């Protein structure tokens, strides 16, 4: 089965429901990572699939009346519910996975969630199957994703933009549409030069020659 776009609800914070609602499409395939079911229900959505050990489902949700699929795991496991939900989503060969409610709250969970989307294996798998692939975290206020070669970002003038080298230096960075452009330059993980840039138009582009670049795009209010 090929799902063009999959939305995964994690069990973190979703600070603005209406901002989150703007990310949704009518034909999205919805996966809830256990307690992320509460966010789907708050947006008037019924998940197609719930993945996890079901230890954090909302109190007003009764699994026995759920008509979708439940992929149940034991409570003692090596992966978070979100990691398992991503693994399940990849079996559907999507073009894009957007993960909501994976930012904010517990710092350890947030860092772990960012690390999950930095894994090259899903990208390699999708490329081997001939599919374009996009995996990112988003909550309507901020989007977080990785640039491995190039990236094109849609936003607005005044949006905040941070470029963070991940796991090592990132070389040959060229940007357009940012207040402080980079012109074939290198960012280092122990330096903060890439933090808090600004978009100067509705689009920005980034190209890199080597490394893995974490992009955090915060939309202006």
Question: Tens of pLDDT along 178-195?
Answer: 999 999 999 999 999 999
Phi, psi of 122 (to 5 degrees): -60, -40
Residues contacting residue 199 through CB under 8 Å, at least 6 positions apart: 153, 155, 156, 157, 158, 159, 161, 177, 178, 179
Token readout for 69 is 């699929």
- CA–chain centroid gap for 94, Å, is 14
Token readout for 27 is 């034909």
- pLDDT for position 179: 96
Place 64 in a pLDDT band, splitting at 50, 70 and 90.
Answer: confident
Question: Tens of pLDDT along 165-174?
Answer: 998 999 999 9
- pLDDT for position 221: 76
Question: Tens of pLDDT along 89-121?
Answer: 999 989 899 999 999 878 999 999 999 998 766
Domains and CATH numbers, the chain: 5-140 (3.40.50.10240), 146-218 (2.60.120.320)
3-state SS assignment for residue 110: helix
Q: What is the mean pLDDT of residues 193-203?
A: 95
pTM across the whole model: 0.90
- pLDDT for position 176: 96
Q: What's the mean pLDDT when you consider all of the chain?
A: 90
């Amino acid at each position: 089965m090929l799902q063009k776009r999959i939305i995964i609800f994690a069990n973190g914070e979703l600070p603005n429901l209406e901002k989150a609602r703007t990310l949704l499409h009518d034909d999205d395939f919805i996966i809830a990572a256990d307690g992320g079911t509460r966010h789907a229900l708050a947006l008037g959505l019924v998940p197609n699939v719930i993945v996890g050990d079901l230890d954090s489902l909302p109190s007003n949700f009764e699994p026995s009346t759920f008509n979708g699929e439940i992929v149940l795991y034991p409570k003692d496991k090596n992966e978070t519910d979100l990691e398992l939900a991503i693994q399940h989503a990849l079996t559907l060969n999507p073009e894009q996975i957007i993960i909501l409610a994976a930012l904010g709250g517990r710092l350890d969970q947030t860092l772990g969630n960012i690390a999950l989307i930095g894994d090259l294996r899903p990208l390699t798998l999708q490329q081997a199957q001939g599919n374009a692939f996009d995996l990112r975290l988003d909550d309507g206020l901020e989007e977080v994703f990785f640039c491995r070669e190039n990236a094109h970002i849609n936003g607005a003038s005044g949006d905040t933009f941070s470029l963070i080298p991940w796991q090592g230096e990132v070389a040959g960075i060229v940007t357009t549409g940012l207040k402080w452009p980079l012109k074939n330059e290198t960012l280092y993980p122990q330096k903060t030069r890439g933090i808090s840039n600004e978009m100067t138009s509705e689009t920005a582009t980034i190209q890199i020659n080597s490394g893995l670049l974490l992009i955090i795009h915060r939309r202006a209010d």
